[in-house]
Structure 1
Amino acid sequence: MNKKILIVLIMLITLISGCWDTKEPERMLYIYGVGVGYKDGKIEIYTQIIDFANIAKSEQPPNPNNIQAEVGHSSGKTEQEAFYNLYKSMDEELYWGHLAYIVFSEDLLKSGKMDSFINPFIRFLNTRYLTWVYSTNEPLKEVMLVTPILNKAISLSKLSDPLNSFRQDSTIEPLNVRQLILKLDEPSYEVAIPSVSLLHNWETEKEKNMITTLNGVSVVTPKGFKGNISGDKAKGLPWMDKKTKRAELSIMLDSEGKRYITGNGKVDAVKVTPIVKNNSVSFDVNIKMEVELGGFQGSIKEKTVKKEVEKEVKKEIRDTFKEGLSIDADVYNLSEYLYRKDPKAWKKLQKNGKVELNENSIRNIKVDILVNSGRKNFKETLRR
């Protein structure tokens, strides 16, 4: 009998031995966002630790009064030293597998030390290439402490889930680590990182709420920071991107500037053709897009709408292109179009991966437009 009991015990030990080195979920901290800054010659690290117990599987936290996240801070001569300093203040082990986004401060980008963070980041087994990337000139701590409107789960914030809001406003395309690396490794070796700013235009009966918004892009290279394109100057970006699903477009319907209409633009196709002559290159742009009109007063003609949409789209494309030239940036990656179409010409004309561009480098812009009035005709529903 004793031998039988001993055999059973030995068998049970072999079954449970594989669980001895497992880590209990409640004994770990889950990092969800990282902010990287640079100040006084040191790397500044901000980490957002998220509490999945308060989020569970629903879109709304079980108890709205519970804290969904905390932000920790540390600094060091290197990013590794900064993280080790942070580890010293933690009660539990830090898990990186749920990291959703990274925010770089402008100071960090200007210091040229972005690669010192990206290089070890992609070598770490628990991190993912699909982590979203942003830039900001706002305080990193404030950006990372923002919670969604109506106290929605913090996992549904704009920074951690940008594709959701991108369907409604496609002005600034989200960027992940994989795309960042690819763009910095291809001509013209530049990348436009979505820029985050803070707004206070939402409020409850108790207080004003701070929210995040993507107001433009920061153009960076492997060596440093070129500058920002934001606000109205960034309006041309969506029209040169076939991923644009819905972007705002306001046009004027009379010469007196008293009658405007706003529609939603969707880009169906973008074709850029390099034209090489002697020792220079120019580009022809062909865009196919759809425009859905919102409410309007009075009757309008489809021909008029098409004419004004084409005029405004061309203007916004050229305005953004000129703004890019002012910071020596190829915002539409025209150099890459030449690189793909005619490698020999690109090799002859390029310098540090870029061809020389000027305000006349975009020779022609053609816009084919399909207009949807949202109704059967272009007449107003309620007539005076």
Structure 2
Amino acid sequence: MKTTFKFIVMIFLTTLLAGCWDITEPQRMYYINAVGVDFVDDEYEVYLQIINFADVAKSVQPSSNAEPAEIGRAKGRTVEEAIYKLYRSSDQQIFWGHMRYIIFSESALENERFIPVIDTFIRFRDTRYHIWMYCTKDPVHDVLLVSPILKNSLSSSKLSNPINPTEQETFVEPKNLREIVIGLNEPNHEVTVPYVSIRKDWQTDEENVEETYFSGVGILSKDGFKGFVKDEAARGNQWMHNYTNRGEITFKLRTDGKEELTVSIDKLQVKKIPVVNKEEVYFDVELQLRATVNGFKGKVSEKELKKQIIKEVKKEIRQTYNEGLKLDVDIFRLSEVLYRDNVKAWKRLETDGKIPLQENSIRKISIDVSQINPGRKTFSEIIKIKRPDPSE
């Protein structure tokens, strides 16, 4: 009797448990992968990239019978108004939890227009802080419509997942919304955002294929957009932070001035040391790196290689630093270095949240090439590496 009573009570209690009646089935939702923001005729123009559900759920290789993505577009006086207009034309509920990146046009960055956009996605409960952020001068919808190489899933594109490609070459440091907000709120109140362009570096047997390309950085500040540092002018940025996994430099050998040599740089460690002298501050930069020599023809000594590597890296750092000064930008965040190291000096010297910088503010760049790896020795002509003498 007692067992029967307990069983009846248990059955009754299960009716009070919460169920899944209000959950939307996965196949009845559209999944946002990316958002593009432009500013045209005094209105925000918002693009939503909806990724194919089969593309996300089944495999890395998308279905050949279905479009990998579709782009929705709407205008509004605010970003939210444009998004609500897109809700009206959507056939299913839109899910924001898989949103991977935002890309801004140049006009959407100007005059602090990007700030309410960032604020919108940070406050929205369905989105995450780990959303990548990019900028471009190309049409935003064209960037969103670029398919990955071999027509892979859009969820595996370099914009959706920039960590993978930067393992082999870290030309720019990826930035997410969290890092952008921190960078704008703390000295120097300026932050770099990866700049994306469209290139046709790949091709099939039928046509040249468009692909997105990391071309440099855009610089945002708490006062608005400062400008772009692109291509060769942006090369020095990769040597000034420890995020860099690997990079390359190419230069002419000094033996004859004709042969070009490409050297891979990795194991990078950077220190920025502030030196306060009364009412002025200078910065000493110390770099330690390892080099690997790629294909070359001729004979070259280790000493000569080190000298050329040091020269080229210094030149690229100086070039990028001076490009930043032209835009009134502390591109290497030297003000933050002083703020962390000596906040009293920073308070005494800062102007509007950052330290005034001159061309000679980077006083010294010291580079230690800890090791040169000659790679595989295929030909008889090799690098002359100085070996330590066991008798010493």
- TM-score category, normalised to shorter length: over 0.9
The reply on whether 1:24 has 2:25 as its aligned counterpart is: yes
Determine the C-alpha separation between the residues in 2 that align with 1:175 and 1:202: 26
Q: Kindly tell me: are residues 145 and 196 of structure 1, through their superposed partners in 2, closer, same or farther at Cα, counting changes over 3 Å?
A: same
Percent sequence identity is: 45
1:52-201 equivalences under 5 Å are: 52-61=53-62, 63-201=63-201
Paired residue for 1:366?
Answer: 366
Q: Kindly tell me: are residues 303 and 225 of structure 1, through their superposed partners in 2, closer, same or farther at Cα, counting changes over 3 Å?
A: same
Paired residue for 2:266?
Answer: 266
Q: Return the offset for 1:200.
A: 1.3
The reply on whether 1:33 has 2:34 as its aligned counterpart is: yes
Determine the C-alpha separation between the residues in 2 that align with 1:17 and 1:244: 49
State the Cα deviation string for residues 152-171 of structure 1 (Å, max 9, x = none): 11111010010000001101
Q: Return the offset for 1:12.
A: 10
Determine the C-alpha separation between the residues in 2 that align with 1:81 and 1:108: 16
Determine the C-alpha separation between the residues in 2 that align with 1:207 and 1:72: 27
Assess if the C-alpha contact under 8 Å between 1:196 and 1:215 holds in 2. yes
Q: Kindly tell me: are residues 203 and 16 of structure 1, through their superposed partners in 2, closer, same or farther at Cα, counting changes over 3 Å?
A: farther
Assess if the C-alpha contact under 8 Å between 1:60 and 1:153 holds in 2. yes
Determine the C-alpha separation between the residues in 1 that align with 2:252 and 2:45: 47
Extract structure 1 runs of 4+ deviating beyond 4 A.
Answer: 10-13, 376-379
Q: Return the offset for 1:377.
A: 10
Q: Return the offset for 1:375.
A: 3.5
Task: State the AA in 1 paired with 2:93.
Answer: E
Task: State the AA in 2 paired with 1:375.
Answer: R
Assess if the C-alpha contact under 8 Å between 2:27 and 2:53 holds in 1. no
**TM-score scaled to structure 2, two decimals?**
0.91
What runs of 5+ residues in structure 1 fail to find an aligned partner? Answer: none
Q: Return the offset for 1:206.
A: 1.9
Determine the C-alpha separation between the residues in 2 that align with 1:16 and 1:334: 57
Paired residue for 1:47?
Answer: 48
Q: Find the residue that maps to 1:261 and give its secondary structure.
A: strand
Paired residue for 1:239?
Answer: 239
Determine the C-alpha separation between the residues in 2 that align with 1:362 and 1:261: 28
Determine the C-alpha separation between the residues in 2 that align with 1:222 and 1:95: 31
Q: Find the residue that maps to 1:263 and give its secondary structure.
A: strand
Task: State the AA in 2 paired with 1:178.
Answer: R
Determine the C-alpha separation between the residues in 2 that align with 1:19 and 1:11: 18
State the Cα deviation string for residues 207-261 of structure 1 (Å, max 9, x = none): 2211001100000112211110000000101111111111111122126531110
Determine the C-alpha separation between the residues in 2 that align with 1:300 and 1:74: 60
Assess if the C-alpha contact under 8 Å between 2:30 and 2:53 holds in 1. no
Q: Which piece of structure 1 moves more, 138-147 or 249-258?
A: 249-258
Q: Find the residue that maps to 1:19 and give its secondary structure.
A: coil
Assess if the C-alpha contact under 8 Å between 2:236 and 2:318 holds in 1. yes
Assess if the C-alpha contact under 8 Å between 1:64 and 1:151 holds in 2. no
Q: Kindly tell me: are residues 47 and 210 of structure 1, through their superposed partners in 2, closer, same or farther at Cα, counting changes over 3 Å?
A: same
Q: Count matched residues.
A: 375
RMSD, matched Cα: 2.0
Determine the C-alpha separation between the residues in 2 that align with 1:27 and 1:331: 46
**TM-score scaled to structure 1, two decimals?**
0.93
Determine the C-alpha separation between the residues in 2 that align with 1:174 and 1:379: 41
Determine the C-alpha separation between the residues in 2 that align with 1:246 and 1:201: 21
What runs of 5+ residues in structure 2 fail to find an aligned partner? Answer: 383-392
Determine the C-alpha separation between the residues in 2 that align with 1:379 and 1:234: 37
Determine the C-alpha separation between the residues in 1 that align with 2:376 and 2:264: 15
Paired residue for 2:388?
Answer: none
Paired residue for 2:307?
Answer: 307
